[in-house]
């Protein structure tokens, strides 16, 4: 990338991010190089690098692409002369192999199994990924991981690659995004290097293709992908694929590819639940606490964030990073108040105002009863339990007081509401069906 192009990117970034963000975070960056789809910048501190990567990374990549650059990932380095520079991905070889086994620059060093927090929503995906990462005979091929944005697909794939390279450094592990696959394919076509291309892809031991939904509709790329895929499966090489949805649901993907993708193990990453979010926050805080011992977090802040930010892990992480940046700038303890101030926009965005009426409607649909029966006087279990569920959700998801909730349930007394809420609190610890229903309903209502 030339300096002229970078200057154009800077101009667009100033407009996109605003003058304040621009001078605080973008100006300190010094563009260093672009190679193998990785754009490297020098930054004064790791903290700035992390912050920029989390908060503005997507924007920077987007603007660079708008200016015609092929960039998939950003890398931030503190040029202290001590830090080892990492070799970029070799163009024609699957992996840059050097004597000291330099780590693959397309892999994020932080995305390992150690840093992946496991909870109910991702335990299957994690177990499958770990199994594949052990190497050994290929039992399911491909491993197909899918789930919504920011739920850890890329993290798990990088973790597999790291682990495989740690256990068997001689293995040729290739990780790339479907876009990169497509780009390399098109370049090979244009430069008449299809033989090299085919040979390179067929010589890998493990192939990982991230975000495969992007090849939908790209016919010649699909064709080549299909052949690569088959050649590798035939020679018992492990393939790992990710996508944002199940194979059958990828738009404009050939049927034969869909069915090929389905013939291994298909596992999905479910949306996070409160416990997982809290666990992730806790683990990030532990990492930061080691780096910035001066930071103090008041009790309840993490619980608050885990409760309020339920979109995806990336947003959650971004919020935390911003909070730390802010607190360290102003040199204050991170209190609930500071959190609300600093993250008001994020909180507002995920702040859906749920009404008692909506809750009643959703719950009655879920249990297949009539709304009038939920609100009405009948006390049979079929109506009473859903009613209590709705009361519980109303208590936890709205700001209504118990008497107000009671009034909306056919003029019931607040003690009845309190009893209902308590009953569900007891039940959800001993009845997993109830706990699951609650989580499901809460999620549906938060959407
Ligand atoms: P996806 O590829 O599914 O869109 P990523 O793997 O890029 O999502 O994850 C987004 C961010 O959230 C990454 O920084 C990742 O490390 C983090 N993350 C996601 N899930 C977890 C988890 N279970 N534990 C720790 N970090 C996670
Ligand atoms: Mg991803």
Ligand that lies nearest to the alpha carbon of residue 278, given by its number in the listed order: 1
Q: CA-CA-CA-CA torsion for 428, 434, 436, 442, nearest 10 degrees?
A: -90
Ligand closest to 147 (CA) is 1
- Residue 60 Cα to ligand 2 midpoint, Å, equals 17
pLDDT-derived band at 331, boundaries 50, 70, 90 = confident
Residue-wise pLDDT for 99-128, tens only, equals 354 456 678 999 999 999 999 999 999 999
Model pLDDT, residue 310 = 79
The percentage of residues in the chain with a pLDDT greater than 70, rounded to a whole number, is 93
pTM of the predicted structure, to 2 decimals: 0.64
Mutate to test the pocket of ligand 1, among 50, 314, 315 (most ligand atoms within 8 A of CB): 314
* Coil vs helix vs strand at 49: helix
Beta-bridge partners for 334: 297
Q: How far is the CA of 313 from the centre of ligand 1 (A)?
A: 6
In this structure, which residue's CA is closest to atom 21 in ligand 1?
Answer: 152
**DSSP E strand stretches across 238-343:** 238-243, 265-268
More confident residue, 352 or 177: 177
Q: Looking at ligand 1, which atom is closest to the CA of residue 158?
A: 6
- Mean pLDDT, the chain, rounded, equals 88
Ligand nearest to the CA of 178: 2
Q: What is the mean pLDDT of residues 21-44?
A: 87
Most confident listed range (65-69, 154-158, 247-251) = 154-158
- pLDDT tens per residue, range 125-138: 999 999 999 988 88
Distance, CA 154 to ligand 2 centroid (Å)? 4
Q: Residues with Cβ within 6 A of ligand 1?
A: 111, 115-117, 122, 147, 149-155, 280, 313-314, 317
Residue 35, beta-bridge partner list: 38
Q: Which ligand is nearest to the CA of 211?
A: 2
**Chain centre to alpha carbon of residue 48:** 21
* Ligand 1 centroid from CA 255, angstroms: 30
pLDDT score of 354: 82
Query: Strands 38-42 and 30-35: what pairing?
Result: antiparallel
The CA 206 to ligand 2 mean position distance, Å, reads 18
User: How many angstroms separate the CA atoms of 225 and 181, rounded?
Assistant: 8
Gap from CA of 339 to ligand 2 centroid (Å): 28
Output the pLDDT for position 53.
87
Nearest ligand to the CA of 149 is 1
**Could you identify the atom of ligand 1 that is nearest to the CA of residue 110?**
16
Minimal-distance CA residue to ligand 1 atom 19: 152
Q: Return the best residue to mutate from 111, 152, 157, 310 for the ligand 1 pocket (most ligand atoms within 8 A of CB).
A: 152
Mutate to test the pocket of ligand 1, among 121, 273, 313 (most ligand atoms within 8 A of CB): 313
Please give the distance, rounded to the nearest whole angstrom, from the Cα atom of residue 241 to the centre of ligand 2. Answer: 11
Tell me how far the alpha carbon of residue 33 lies from the centroid of ligand 1, in angstroms.
26
Smallest CA-to-CA distance from 26 within 77, 60, 65 is with 60
Q: Around 123, how many Cα atoms within 13 Å sit in the side-chain half-sphere? A: 5
> What does the pLDDT read at residue 103?
53
The confidence band for 351, taking pLDDT boundaries of 50, 70 and 90, is low
Q: Is the pLDDT of residue 207 over 70?
A: yes
Q: What is the Å distance from ligand 1's center to 268 Cα?
A: 14
The string over 116-132, giving b where at least 16 C-beta atoms fall within 10 Å of a residue's C-beta and e elsewhere, is bbbbebbebbbebbbeb
The upper half-sphere exposure of residue 222, i.e. CA atoms within 13 Å in the direction of its Cβ, equals 18
What is residue 294's predicted lDDT score, i.e. its pLDDT? 82
User: Quick one: which atom of ligand 1 is closest to the CA of 126?
Assistant: 23
List the Cα angle 44/48/51 in 5-degree steps. Answer: 165
Query: What pLDDT score does 178 carry?
Result: 93
**Ligand 1 nearest atom to the CA of residue 276, by list position:** 23
């Amino acid at each position: 990338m030339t300096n002229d192009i970078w200057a154009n990117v800077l101009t667009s970034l100033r407009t996109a991010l605003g003058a304040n963000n621009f001078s605080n975070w973008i100006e300190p960056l010094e563009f260093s190089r672009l190679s193998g789809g990785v754009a490297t910048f020098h930054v004064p501190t790791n903290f700035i690098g992390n912050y920029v990567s989390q908060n503005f990374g997507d924007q920077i990549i987007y603007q660079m692409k708008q200016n015609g650059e092929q960039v998939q990932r950003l890398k931030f380095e503190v040029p202290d002369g001590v830090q080892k520079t990492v070799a970029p991905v070799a163009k024609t070889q699957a992996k840059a192999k050097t004597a000291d086994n330099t780590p693959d620059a397309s892999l994020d060093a932080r995305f390992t199994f150690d840093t992946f927090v496991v909870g109910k929503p991702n335990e299957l995906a994690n177990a499958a990924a770990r199994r594949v990462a052990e190497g050994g005979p290929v039992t399911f091929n491909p491993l197909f991981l899918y789930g919504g944005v920011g739920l850890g697909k890329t993290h798990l794939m990088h973790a597999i690659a790291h682990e495989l390279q740690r256990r068997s450094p001689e293995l040729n592990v290739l990780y790339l995004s479907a876009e990169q696959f497509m780009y390399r394919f098109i370049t090979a076509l244009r430069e008449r290097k299809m033989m090299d291309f085919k040979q390179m892809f067929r010589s890998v031991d493990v192939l990982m293709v991230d975000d495969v939904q992007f090849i939908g509709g790209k016919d010649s790329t699909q064709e080549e992908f299909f052949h690569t895929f088959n050649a590798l499966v035939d020679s018992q090489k492990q393939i790992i694929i990710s996508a944002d949805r199940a194979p059958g649901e990828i738009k404009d993907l050939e049927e034969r590819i869909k069915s090929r993708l389905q013939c291994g193990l298909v596992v999905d990453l479910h949306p996070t639940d409160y416990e997982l979010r809290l666990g992730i926050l806790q683990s990030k805080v532990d990492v930061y606490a080691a780096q910035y011992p001066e930071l103090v977090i008041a009790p309840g802040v993490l619980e608050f964030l885990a409760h309020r930010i339920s979109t995806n892990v990336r947003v959650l992480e971004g919020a935390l990073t911003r909070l730390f940046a802010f607190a360290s700038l102003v040199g204050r303890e991170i209190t609930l108040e500071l959190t609300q101030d600093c993250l008001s926009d994020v909180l507002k965005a995920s702040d859906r105002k749920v009404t008692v009426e909506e809750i009643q409607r959703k719950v009655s649909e879920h249990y297949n009863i009539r709304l009038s029966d939920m609100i009405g006087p009948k006390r049979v279990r079929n109506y009473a339990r859903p009613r209590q569920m709705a009361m519980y959700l109303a208590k936890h998801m709205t700001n209504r007081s118990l008497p107000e909730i009671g009034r909306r349930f056919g003029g019931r007394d607040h003690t009845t509401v309190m009893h209902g809420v308590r009953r569900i609190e007891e039940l959800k610890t001993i009845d997993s069906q109830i706990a699951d229903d609650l989580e499901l309903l809460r999620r549906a209502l938060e959407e």
